[in-house]
Amino acid sequence: MRSLRTAIFLLLASSFAFSQNSAQYQACTEKAKAQPELNDCARQEADRVDAKLNKLYQQVLAKAGKDANAVSKIKAAERAWIVYRDAFIEATYPAKDPGLEYGSEYLMDAALLEASLTQKHMADLEDLLKQY
């Protein structure tokens, strides 16, 4: 069972890693010489994607701004998505001590998963933006 979980984990982790393709991330990983530097590259990528999400979220709020009910529901949906994102990451890495269980790549893999989920959510917000 453990080897099956490990295989699934490695498959998921590699797919998340390859989904990150920003020029900044690629440049950072090419310069990285050790796992802590790769972890930093992944965290920076997640932060970059999150900043883009926040700008898009503000655009959605601004466009829906005249409809207080819509704004309230958009904010509720965003709060729920953040809970979902965090829960999904925890479900992907369910160990009590993920760093110990999944090794030194855990921080990188979790940050890349966060970035991937955020990119997918941006597509949802772009669709929502078109509605208003």
Q: What is the pLDDT of residue 14?
A: 46
Give the position of tokens 């921080």.
Answer: 107
What pTM does this model have? 0.83
**Nearest alpha-carbon partner for 91 in 15, 5, 17, 14:** 5
Give the pLDDT confidence of 55-84 residue by residue, as tens digits: 999 999 999 998 999 999 999 999 999 999
Report whether 25 contacts 41 (CB < 8 A): yes
Q: Where exactly are the structural domains of the chain?
A: 2-131
Name the percent of the chain lying above pLDDT 90: 82
Name the percent of the chain lying above pLDDT 70: 85
- Kindly give the interhelix angle for 106-131 and 35-64, rounded to the nearest 10 degrees: 20
For residue 91, pLDDT beyond 90: yes
Exposed e or buried b per residue across 45-64, where buried means at least 16 C-beta atoms within 10 angstroms of its C-beta: bbebbeeebeebbeebbebb
Q: How far apart are the first and last CA of the chain?
A: 48
Give the pLDDT confidence of 8-37 residue by residue, as tens digits: 544 454 444 445 579 999 999 999 999 999
Residues 54, 58: Cα–Cα separation, whole Å: 6
Domain 2-131, second-level architecture: Up-down Bundle (1.20)
Q: What is the pLDDT of residue 7?
A: 44
Among 20-24, 29-33, 96-100, 128-132, where is mean pLDDT lowest? 20-24
For residue 126, pLDDT beyond 50: yes
